[in-house]
Structure 1
Amino acid sequence: MNSRTDVGDTLREMWETRPARPRDDRKVAGVAAGIARRYDIDPVLVRVGFVVAAFSGIGAALYIAGWILLPDAPADPAGPQTERPRSWLVIAFAIVAAVTIGGMFGDGPDMILPLLVVAGLLYLLHRSRGDRGTAVAEAPTVATATSSSAAPTEVSLVKEPTGAAASTEPPATPPAWDPLGAAPFAWDLPEPSPPVTEAPPRKLPVTPVTLGLALLAGSATAGIMILGGMWTLGNLAVLSGVVLAVLGVGLVVGSFLRTGRGLIPVALLVGALTWSLLAAPLDRWQGDGYGELRAAPTTVSSLQPSYERGAGEINLDLSRLDLAVPPDGNTSPVRTRISMGAGDVQVRVPPAADVTVTARAGFGDVRFGALRDEGPDAYVQAIDDLGTDGVRDGRPLVIDIDAGVADVEVLRG
């Protein structure tokens, strides 16, 4: 069989054996639980996959598609399996799909690649575990008499005594299984054997092993950074990423072995730390000391080329800065740069000055006049803002602000 036919058969089998959404263990519609039971994996892994896909912009569309395409498990398995039409789901899926397709064509291949990755993962999952979760447990059936003419059969537990056995009396002491002596006719029966209990299967120690490997990987990465002279605040995101990668592998392995859920809170914590380090790079924290920095230069010569703080507050008052063109006719821009790791930045500029402001923050609030941006990667830029008079005069003032976790505000006057 060639590869094209094999792929077609696999896709056809995936559709024909698609799971039903169970009524228990569902968080929203049971899509993740149904997929997990079909392929015998931990539903937490599937839910995490939907969350990750949501960050790429296709998670909602995929979940609604599963909601529509996967049938709902009936409340009564013995009853008729009917499926009510869900027109509102079709409308919701159409809206989300339109947004997704619009993003695909608007942003280029950024949306197509996640779709290809999801399709490939589903295909490989079915190829490796397609035989799981398809067996249906059959309850033992009890044959009953259906004919109305057949007489009911009475089963007697009392054995009729015959011969010498008829004159034999039961023991005077009841056995251990009948301490109240309620059934003396069955005292001569053998003692029932104790029930055989099987020991529960031993789960592999995925959580402690993964935590140990993550600690070793983090220690080894830190050692390499120190020996290679790469140990800086900005590289802490690399160290955190290595630990998070090991935890992710442990979660994947644990999902197939039905264990390792203790890694989830640790992975969430390390993931939040990694995201924080990436959103607000710590290399911006390496400023000139900590605390409050206040300056109010009035001449171009007294204006410093840069003002830096690792953490604290920078208050730069340029409202009385003389930006008039000197006698030599120098009209070149007056530039200064502000760097803040964590804290507050406030800059005041002359009301009528020609100002160009570029302000960014890894996480925080950035404001200049009517321009404002907040959250991660906050960014504001105003080019040639002519001020209150609306006239281009004097030397232009160029301010560049780069902050980590900070509130940045540029005011006039």
Structure 2
Amino acid sequence: MNTTKHSGINIEAMVADFWATRPRRPRQGRMVAGVAAGIGRRYGIDPVIVRVALVVTTVYGGAGVLFYLLGWLAFAEDNDEVSAIESLIGRGRSSVSHAFTVLLGVLCFPAVAWLWNGQFGFFSGVLAAAALLGGLFLLHRNRADLGVPGAPTMTSGGPMTAPSYPPGATATAEWDPLGASPLLWDLHDPNAPVTTQVATTDDDDTTVMRRPRAPRSAVGGVTMGLAVLTAAALLIFKAALGASWLSLPHILGIVTGVLAGGLVVGAFVRGGRGLVVPTVLVGVAAVVLTNAPNGGTAGFGDLRANPTDTLAASYNRSFGDVRLDLTNFKFDKEKPARTSVSVDAGEARVIVPANVNVDVTCTADVGDVRCLNVSQNWRDITLHQVDNVPNAAGTLQLEVHAGAGDVEVVRG
């Protein structure tokens, strides 16, 4: 049974209207292909918000990449007759070549595979795709009449442009279906300056031009407050109940969701632009910690260790610095000592005695590494050093890792 007509929303008509007035990709102000800039222009929102939504849904599920490729194929560029996919089937001219159109279509297949098999699982891909489609649905439902200059100027029925009027021409009502020519519309411009006449003397009047201040949106402040309260509540819950499953990446992911929700709300009320940077930073931190060896569960703050008799199997921190001083440790000549040092974000520094043999592996995802007498920086660093000394008091087998930070192994 079709209940669409009873729901108050004609989905079929909305889809048809979206396709007829879909965004165009501008040549100016775009980062890659202009998909985000076109959507922002079409619906009167900041393109930065669209870009953040695409980045977040790319990280969490991979839907952002697929959505961008489809927009590249379906949205025509300014001054093109049709989109790339329409040009491929012979419906008009597009600046995108047929070969590149085919390449974009081929790239959609791995994007779909990423959507269903992302690092956060099947559900995250579905949720990310649903979030993008839902956001686009709400934009078109509430802002279909905004940014129409960015819509296509040609359809299968002919031009959609309004007639131009030369200066001084008499207004007619032949174009507007309501019988009111655009030249007869008397709409208030909210950004127009306000003229105030101030009398300074009896013979002198001074006219002051003032532009009214736009009311400041409370979306940014409210969202940041909710994000802080959410993080605090989750940390208290974790500490009170000892919920080991509620790791730092989970908390950051939830906070990212709160911030992203504020961005979505801000897209409709023209507010919340200050949320862009915090959302990106918190989201990136969640991803980094999710992929880190400790998974954000090894604790926070600096760790200082100076063992003498017993050597722990590992010394770890999620955020902070680890400093392990082994100069006072009593080594056994017959049995090698083994340990590891790891930080997700911070510095890992190990001081080894001058009279022991050292077999050390130093690794870092991003940062600077100084592994005894060898150094390297930037990313994906792996250094392995074996340094033996005469009359060694023992042997140390050591692994030192930093996710984002510095690694230093030196002799004391």
Superposition TM-score tier, normalisation by shorter sequence: 0.5 to 0.7
SS of the residue corresponding to residue 342 of structure 1 reads strand
**Would the aligned equivalents of 1:346 and 1:408 in 2 still touch at CA under 8 Å?**
no
For the residues of structure 2 that align with 1:31 and 1:336, how far apart are their CA atoms?
51
The equivalent of 1:207 in structure 2 is 220
Residue 83 (structure 1) aligned to one of 94, 100, 106: 94
For residue 217 of structure 1, report the CA deviation from its aligned partner: 3.9
Percent identity over paired residues = 29
Does the 8 Å contact 1:37/1:133 carry over to 2? no
Per-residue displacement from partner, 1:262-292 (whole Å, max 9, x unpaired)? Answer: 23234445455556666573725567526xx
Q: Which amino acid aligns with 2:304?
A: G
Q: Which string of whole-angstrom CA distances, capped at 9 and with x for unpartnered residues, describes residues 246-271 of structure 1?
A: 33222111111112212323444545
Please give the secondary structure, in 1, of the residue aligned with 2:324. strand
In 1: Cα distance, 2:123 partner to 2:376 partner: 29
CA contact 2:62–2:115 (8 Å) conserved in 1: no
Among candidates 41, 56, 68, match of residue 73 of structure 2: 68
2:263: which partner in 1? 251
Shift of 1:20: 1.8
Distance 2:312 2:133 in 1: 58
Taking the aligned partners of 2:128 and 2:70, their CA distance within structure 1 comes to 13
- Residue 315 of structure 1 deviates from its aligned partner by 6.1
Secondary structure of the residue aligned to 1:72 is: coil
In structure 2, the CA distance between the partners of 1:206 and 1:334, relative to structure 1 (3 Å rule), is closer
The 3 A distance-change label for structure 1 pair 402 and 349 is farther
The offset of 1:33, in angstroms, is: 2.3
Match of 1:289 among 288, 293, 304: 304
Does residue 321 of structure 2 align to residue 311 of structure 1? yes
| Residues 331 and 337 in structure 2, CA contact (< 8 A), matched pair in contact too | no
AA aligned to 2:70 is A
Which residue of the partner structure matches residue 130 of structure 1? 140
Verify the 8 A CA contact 2:23 2:42 in the aligned structure 1: yes
Q: What is the deviation of 1:216?
A: 4.0
Contact 2:62 2:118 in 1 (8 A): no
The corresponding residue for 1:157 is none
TM-score w.r.t. the length of structure 2 is: 0.53
Deviation at 1:219, TM superposition (A): 4.7
Superposition deviation, residue 51 in structure 1: 1.8
2:347–2:405 contact (8 Å) kept in structure 1 = yes
Indicate the residue corresponding to 2:189 in structure 1. none
1:2 counterpart = 2:26: no
SS at match of 1:263: helix
Q: Distance in 2 between matches of 1:380 and 1:284?
A: 25
- Counterpart Cα distance in 1 of 2:282 and 2:119: 29
Any residues of structure 2 matched to 1:300-379 within 5 Å, and which? 304-306=311-313, 308=315, 311=321, 313-314=323-324, 335-338=338-341, 342-345=347-350, 364=367
CA contact (8 A) 2:49 2:276 kept: no
User: Structure 1's 59 and 241: CA in aligned 2 closer, same or farther, altered over 3 A?
Assistant: closer
Residue 306 of structure 1 and its aligned partner are, at CA, apart by 4.1
Aligned-residue offset at 1:70: 0.7
State the alpha-carbon separation in 1 of the partners of residues 249 and 125 from structure 2: 28
Contact 2:349/2:409, CA 8 A, preserved across alignment:
no
Any idea what the Cα deviations from partners look like across 1:56-92, whole Å, max 9, x if unmatched? Answer: 556455434322321122299xxxx953342463254
Corresponding position of 1:93 = 104
Q: Is the 8 A contact 1:347 1:409 kept in 2?
A: no
Root mean square deviation of aligned Cα: 5.8
SS at match of 1:32: helix
Measured in 1, the distance between the counterparts of 2:282 and 2:113 equals 34
Aligned partners of 1:206 and 1:108: how far apart in 2? 31
CA distance in 1, matches of 2:323, 2:28: 53
Q: Is the counterpart of residue 262 in structure 1 residue 274 in structure 2?
A: yes
Instruction: Summarize deviations over 1:141-187 as a string: whole Å, max 9, x none.
Output: 4459xxxxxxxxxxxxxxxxxxxxxxxxxxxxxxxxxxxxxxxxxxx
Asked if the contact 1:68–1:89 (Cα under 8 Å) also holds between the matched residues in 2, the reply is no
Distance 1:231 1:116 in 2: 27
Alpha carbons 1:20, 1:73 under 8 Å: kept: yes
Any idea what SS the aligned residue of 1:289 has? strand
- Aligned 8 A contact 1:21 1:30 in 2: yes
Q: How far, CA to CA, are the matches of 1:113 and 1:210 in structure 2?
A: 25
Q: Closer, same or farther in 2 for the Cα pair 1:410/1:251, shift >3 Å?
A: same
| Residue of structure 2 aligned with 1:30, choices 16, 34, 44 | 34
Give the CA deviation at 1:49: 2.0
Contact 1:103-1:111 within 8 A present in 2 as well: no
1:35–1:46: 8 Å Cα contact kept in structure 2?
Answer: yes
Q: Measure, in 2, the Cα distance between the counterparts of 1:199 and 1:408.
A: 55
2: CA distance, partners of 1:72 / 1:339: 50
Structure 2 residues without counterparts, runs of 5 or longer: 82-91, 150-161, 172-206, 388-394
Per the alignment, do residues 245 and 51 of structure 1 end up closer, same or farther by CA in structure 2, a change over 3 Å counting? closer
Alignment of 1:97-246 (within 5 A): 97=108, 99-100=110-111, 116-117=126-127, 119-125=129-135, 127-131=137-141, 132-134=143-145, 136=148, 138=162, 141=165, 142=169, 202=215, 204-221=217-234, 224=237, 228=240, 243-246=255-258
